[in-house]
Structures are given as C-alpha cells and as structure tokens.
Amino acid sequence: MQVFDEDKMKQDKRLGIAKLPLSDLGLETVKEVNLQLLSSLDTTKVKDKKDRGVLTIKARSDHLAIVAAFVLSSPPVA
C-alpha cells in the first residue's frame, strides 16, 4: 500500500509504502495490524531513516472479498 498526502494546489507527495501479506489475514476474523511506513520496500535502497508514520489496518477476509479500514498516525511536524 502506498500512502500519499493530498494537496489542492500542488502534486500529492508519497509519504511511504507498506506491505501486508494477504496470507496474514484470517478468514472471518478481524485482525488489526500496525505497519511502519517505509520509503521503499527494498531495504537496500532505504537511505533515510526518518519516521514516515504508522499505518494501522483493521481487516478481515472472507471467501469473496477483503474488508479493511485504515488509519494513518503521522510523525509530529517539525
């Protein structure tokens, strides 16, 4: 999942990226997961270590669909 800010006058900026393997979701049960946003999923390419925030996902899957809710906890603005 890629997370972007939304700007009205400028281009949206990518805040970070996170990955949740669908195999981690249990059938018919709600699971809450906190994922640290990264600048890249390839850890060899990550040059900065700044805090990009945490994406909290509550999700459940059934045989036909995945239902999810997302909350982004961003780091304090300097």
Q: Which pLDDT tens digit goes with each residue over 19-62? A: 887 777 777 788 888 888 888 777 677 677 777 888 888 887 77
What was the pLDDT predicted at 7? 77
Top pLDDT among 33 and 78 is at 33
pLDDT band at 70 (very low <50, low <70, confident <90, very high): low
The domain spans of the chain are 2-73
Q: CB pairs under 8 A, 24+ apart, for 61-66?
A: 61/22, 61/25, 61/26, 61/27, 61/28, 62/27, 62/28, 63/27, 66/22, 66/25
Query: Is a pLDDT exceeding 60 seen at residue 76?
Result: no
Q: What is the dihedral of CA 43, 49, 55, 56, to 10 degrees?
A: 100
